[in-house]
Amino acid sequence: MKKTVFPPVILALALIFALNCGAVCAHISVSSAAAKAGDTVDIPVVIENNPGFCYLRVRPEFDTANLELIAVKAGDVYADTVAKAVNISVENGSDMKVDGSILIMTFKIGETAEPGDHPVELKFIECYNYDEEDVAVDITGGVIKVTGDCGVITRAAENGGDTGVPIPRVTVPTENTTEEKTKSGGSAVVIAACILAFAAAAAVSAIVIIKRKRK
């Protein structure tokens, strides 16, 4: 009977696969939110299936043309320090083993930000526990949705709500229209002509009177 011999490379890959499958992988997700241009919005970063870690370092990646990361603070999961530079570091004196928000990123939406979805990602750098053992981490990004302001004013309901019925816009004219200006201009011309005619007639009458007196 022929024996089947597996090459060492296949055995090594199988061993790595088995070890990875047996390892506990923490899942980190970036929350999503909606905001208008010029707003400030908080984006929590949440961990689930937490095996315990004391140090995490990630790099935020987002659309810098429309978003600005202005602050980072600790979330519900206790951490001694949360530092923000090019990378974000979460550090604790002992392993944090509970699920919840590990940090909160505060973004400023640009005044001229384009409406639409703007992804916010965290690039994994390293994570380990108190014994300096690497902790496997899977990260899912989020989205900041910038909403456009259509500028429609709505009438508030009596109970303080919004009926969604647009308020009629009333335009108050500040000057005469072209037609009115034309009419006004025509009237002024007629009046001026009458005055000139009256003045001419008066002048003719005065000349006639003077001639009669000379005779």
- The verdict on pTM exceeding 0.75 is no
Q: Is 55 helix (H, G, I), strand (E, B) or coil?
A: strand
Q: Can you give the pLDDT at residue 131?
A: 95
In whole angstroms, how far apart are CA 109 and each of 61, 117, 127, 147, 201? 15, 12, 30, 11, 77
Considering only 59-73, 116-130, 131-145, 174-188, which range has the smallest mean pLDDT? 174-188
Is the CB of residue 71 less than 8 Å from the CB of residue 84?
yes
Domain layout of the chain by residue ranges: 24-149
Residue 20 has pLDDT above 70, yes or no: no
Residue 128 has pLDDT above 80, yes or no: yes
CATH number 3.40.50.300 is the correct assignment for the domain at 24-149: no
Is the CB of residue 53 less than 8 Å from the CB of residue 26?
yes
Q: What is the mean pLDDT of the chain?
A: 74
pLDDT tens-place string over residues 92-126: 899 999 999 999 999 999 999 999 999 999 999 99
